[in-house]
Structure 1
Amino acid sequence: MDKHILCCDWGTTSFRLRLVERQDYKVLAEYLTKDGVAGTYRDWKEQDEINRFDFYAAILKNSIKELAKKTSFILDTIPVIVSGMASSSIGMEELPYAELPFESNGSQASVRVFKDFNGKDAPLVLVSGLKSHEDVMRGEEAQLIGLLKLNEISIQASEKIVFVFPGTHSKHISVKDRFVIDFQTFMTGEIYNILTEHSILKDSVLSSSGTVLMQADQIKAFLKGVEISGTSALLHSLFTVRTGQLFGQFTKEQNAYYLSGLLIGSELRQLKDGNYDHLVICSGKHLYEHYKLAAEAISLKFNTTYIQPELIDKATIAGQVQIFNATQTTSNE
């Protein structure tokens, strides 16, 4: 077995390539750009010389060369796995989604293997996402597979667990007997961005960039938003962001946290009376405190586990490696 693997997370607006040790998921080097799938697709559409797959493949191979400059490794004989939006309708090649119920060990992932992509016996494994009868996701299922592989969460027989992955499109993933049985998408992050950048509320808020830990006045405003999210309809309470600033209740910066509290509180309240045994919140560092405060404020803390932010990146890698290993097992049968 190759000791190393190249793990690529190709998102809508970003590109991340890592050289990883397969045994312990240690990252040896990484290469980051803003060459997301959306921009790459636009660039491809503007030319008519190269087919879509080859256009994306050239970018991926060039990125491997750039990563090689940061290491002492020869990377053109190492297998590559790509997840995220690269398998979407605007990606390298559109692949069908895997369907429910979905086994959480990665064996049922929808993939396509391109042999000798990065040299002899160094394939490219392109990973698709997961769909239900009314919803889709790409990437979070790999994080879930990785968390379970890392033994961060143990699943008891017949126990139903809901995993929450916050983000632009937050995912609530229901797992029972180690199978994903359902999931829901909440456009929490995207609505926040739209409201703060393109709505009448944009002049009532000032978002803090790069701030992870909230100050006391920001926490107070955030928790007030969480509280109000449970007392009136969201479409009404959103306008109180404007009046709160007009009436001098909050500064514009505090008001941004109030708005965040309204939206995250509204999302998490869907879980308050849910039919599950255990809740697991899996947030990166920028939203970890927000979701923890909101969950505790609306009494979701009973039988709730919070995955530390530093484990989320590792879980993504572990999930990709697990999916890759599953494809190798299948190809050798």
Structure 2
Amino acid sequence: MNIEWIAVDWGTSHLRAWAMQGETVLDQAQSDNGMARLAKSGFQTALLDVIEGWLGSAPLDVVACGMVGARQGWVEAPYSTVPSAPVPVVPVYVPNTDPRIRVFVVPGLKQDNPPDVMRGEETQIAGFLASRQNWDGVLCLPGTHTKWVQVSAGEVVSFRTFMTGELFDLLRCHSVLRHSISDGWDETAFLDAVSDTLSKPEQLAARLFGLRAMDLLQGQASGIARARLSGSLIGVELAATRAYWLGQQLAIIGADNVSQIYAKALQQQGAFVEVANATRSTLAGLAQARNLTRQTA
């Protein structure tokens, strides 16, 4: 393989790497060695375990985004302040690496008021905008910590983060609801819960306990309960972000399953939604970051 550089998406839980020729993927690999499992001294070893087979004698550039640039990561990549281009500065160089690699880490974005931060999503935003000149609107990046991002004139103007995915996992696995929720899905129950909670978000806490009560008293199926839990949490999120998505050009960037869930919830409310592929957006954004490193080499 004629590998020119290596793209890396390094999150809290996982490390994903792609062997690249320009913007073409030649190979890919991944591991469970996310930032949360590593000390600073362990990042290079974790990376080499994944990419060793791609390396030769000449050094390859490795361009990485995500939590690898956090304070607890390999090297801290300082945040850029919005309003800002998604990737406005040259990625941070990691010194003293294996001579076969030169590692660069993409900085995240921060917002001073209200306080908010992102790492990794800025690269997806850059990749999304790269193929959509003059795109203005709102991006939703669903996940453990879902981002709602206002974009105008090629810049991130503002954003808000919602811990919806993390709350779902905590409630499903560590609350009294764990006795009533397991695998399974019911789309009608999901959409009903979205609509009900969006219209009366102040009743969220009562609706959540109602899932337990419906199991005890009515034998509600655990898959229906799971869909209603998801719908309730997304519904209260949509109530809080109504100013972001109502009447706006809107796109979702995320893993396919969760992106489709958000898309259906928004479409139920009359929103027109474009769904973009998260991996393609990440790779396009990393390619942009790589170009910045080459311009200053």
Seq. identity, %: 27
On the 8 A contact 1:8/1:18 being kept in 2, the answer is: yes
Which residue number in structure 2 is paired with residue 228 of structure 1?
Answer: 196
Which residue number in structure 1 is paired with residue 226 of structure 2?
Answer: 256
Which residue number in structure 2 is paired with residue 57 of structure 1?
Answer: 44
Which residue number in structure 1 is paired with residue 175 of structure 2?
Answer: 199
Match of 2:187 among 211, 219, 224: 219
On the 8 A contact 1:64/1:75 being kept in 2, the answer is: no
Match of 2:275 among 302, 307, 316: 307
Match of 2:210 among 213, 236, 240: 240
Match of 1:137 among 115, 118, 121: 118
User: If the length of structure 1 is used for normalisation, what is the TM-score?
Assistant: 0.80
On the 8 A contact 1:221/1:250 being kept in 2, the answer is: no
User: If the length of structure 2 is used for normalisation, what is the TM-score?
Assistant: 0.89
The alpha carbon displacement at 1:116 in A equals: 8.4
- SS class of match (1:79): strand
Mapped to 2, the partners of 1:231 and 1:239 lie a distance apart of 18
Letter in 2 for 1:298: Q
Mapped pair 1:268 → 2:238: yes
Q: How does 1:1-333 map to 2 (within 5 A)?
A: 4-22=4-22, 25-41=23-39, 52=40, 54-65=41-52, 67-68=53-54, 74=56, 77-104=59-86, 106=87, 108-109=88-89, 111-114=91-94, 117=97, 119=99, 123-133=102-112, 134-149=115-130, 151=131, 153-155=132-134, 159=136, 161-208=137-184, 218-232=186-200, 233=202, 234-248=204-218, 250-274=220-244, 277-299=248-270, 301=271, 304-308=272-276, 311-329=277-295, 331-332=296-297
The alpha carbon displacement at 1:173 in A equals: 0.8
Mapped to 2, the partners of 1:221 and 1:110 lie a distance apart of 47
The alpha carbon displacement at 1:4 in A equals: 2.1
The alpha carbon displacement at 1:221 in A equals: 1.1
- SS class of match (2:38): helix
**Cα distance change of structure 1 residues 75 and 175 upon mapping to structure 2, 3 Å threshold:** farther
**Cα distance change of structure 1 residues 249 and 10 upon mapping to structure 2, 3 Å threshold:** same
The alpha carbon displacement at 1:58 in A equals: 2.7
**Cα distance change of structure 1 residues 132 and 323 upon mapping to structure 2, 3 Å threshold:** same
Letter in 2 for 1:26: T
Per-residue deviation, residues 115-144 of structure 1 (Å, max 9, x unmatched): 784547x52111221110100010011001
Per-residue deviation, residues 250-280 of structure 1 (Å, max 9, x unmatched): 3011110111111112212233344774121
The alpha carbon displacement at 1:239 in A equals: 1.6
- SS class of match (1:230): helix
Per-residue deviation, residues 80-108 of structure 1 (Å, max 9, x unmatched): 0111111112111222111111114x3x1
Mapped to 2, the partners of 1:118 and 1:167 lie a distance apart of 33
Letter in 2 for 1:199: S
On the 8 A contact 1:225/1:265 being kept in 2, the answer is: yes
Q: How many residues align?
A: 291
**Cα distance change of structure 1 residues 293 and 247 upon mapping to structure 2, 3 Å threshold:** farther
User: Structure 2 regions of 5+ residues with no counterpart?
Assistant: none
